[in-house]
Amino acid sequence: DGGITQSPKYLFRKEGQNVTLSCEQNLNHDAMYWYRQDPGQGLRLIYYSQIVNDFQKGDIAEGYSVSREKKESFPLTVTSAQKNPTAFYLCARLTGGGPLHFGNGTRLTVT
Amino acid sequence: AQTVTQSQPEMSVQEAETVTLSCTYDTSESDYYLFWYKQPPSRQMILVIRQEAYKQQNATENRFSVNFQKAAKSFSLKISDSQLGDAAMYFCAYRSGVENRDDKIIFGKGTRLHILP
């Protein structure tokens, strides 16, 4: 998993409920990212964080929230304000001077 | 703002043949990194190859190689001796190499590669 763990693999929620996706890294890297992927589509950036207690909105932050209280954890909350939350969510960490390493993803289904 | 464009939504190649996936990008920076990722049906994102812009030599990883044309802002991926396991979605990505710059990684929309037996 490249030092980054996402859980759970599948998540089901009823419409109107908030849900939190977990992302943990064990390699002491600073920068972490959340992406959303819809079927047959590319990756769209939701939020990213380069240091603890700081994070920036990506291209599609509306309806999502994050926290970065610890370096190793970057959870994503999908709120009821997100109009179309069903998607595949990928968390990643950034290696210095190098690429993103991704977790295995969480498939969220909201009905 | 930087952009990454993959102009081929889908491609097919016969097993054992060679295929080239296109990627172009737009940036005003001179220092940056480029990557190709593979996403098989498992949806795991796998780094295939990386290129630093300051390096003139094209990166190679076994059957995978790139044709990096900095002046043309082109970064194509060549897969030689295609195998059934190469069937996947391939994404091109850009990362700024400027120190302290906001590290927003830009992805293309992807190319779905089919391998024909």
The tens digit of pLDDT for each residue in B75-117 reads 999 999 999 999 999 999 999 877 666 677 899 999 999 999 9
**Residues written for chain A:** 111
Chain centre distance of CA B110? 9
Q: Which of B7, B91, B96, B105 best probes binding to A when mutated, by most A CB atoms within 10 angstroms?
A: B105
* B102 in contact with chain A, both atoms CB, cutoff 8 A: yes
- Region B33-44 average pLDDT: 94
Q: Say yes or no: A39 contacts chain B, CB-CB below 8 A.
A: no
Question: What is the model's pLDDT at position A2?
Answer: 66
Three-state DSSP at B85 gives helix
A90 touches chain B (CB under 8 A): yes
Could you tell me which residues come within 8 angstroms of residue A91 by beta carbon, excluding any fewer than 6 positions away?
Answer: A4, A6, A21, A23, A32, A33, A34, A35, A74, A76, A102, A103, A105
Looking at the partner chain, which of A31, A42, A56 has a beta carbon nearest the beta carbon of B110?
Answer: A42
Q: In chain A, what is the straight-line distance between the N-terminal and C-terminal CA atoms, in Å?
A: 29
Span A51-109, pLDDT tens digits: 899 999 999 999 999 999 999 999 999 999 898 999 999 999 987 767 899 999 999 99
- Which tens digit of pLDDT belongs to each residue from B105-116? 899 999 999 999
Token representation of residue B78: 């060549």
Q: How confident is the model over B40-70, as pLDDT tens digits?
A: 999 999 999 999 999 989 999 999 999 999 9
The answer, yes or no, to whether residue A40 has pLDDT greater than 80, is no
- Give chain A positions within 8 Å (CB) of B114: none
Beta strands B111-116 and B10-14 are: parallel
Interface test with A, best of B103, B109, B111, B113 (most A CBs within 10 A): B103
**pLDDT (average), residues B30-46:** 93
Looking at the predicted structure, is the pLDDT value of residue A27 above 70?
A: yes
Structure tokens, A54: 């700081």
Which band of pLDDT confidence, cut at 50, 70 and 90, is reported for residue B2? Answer: confident
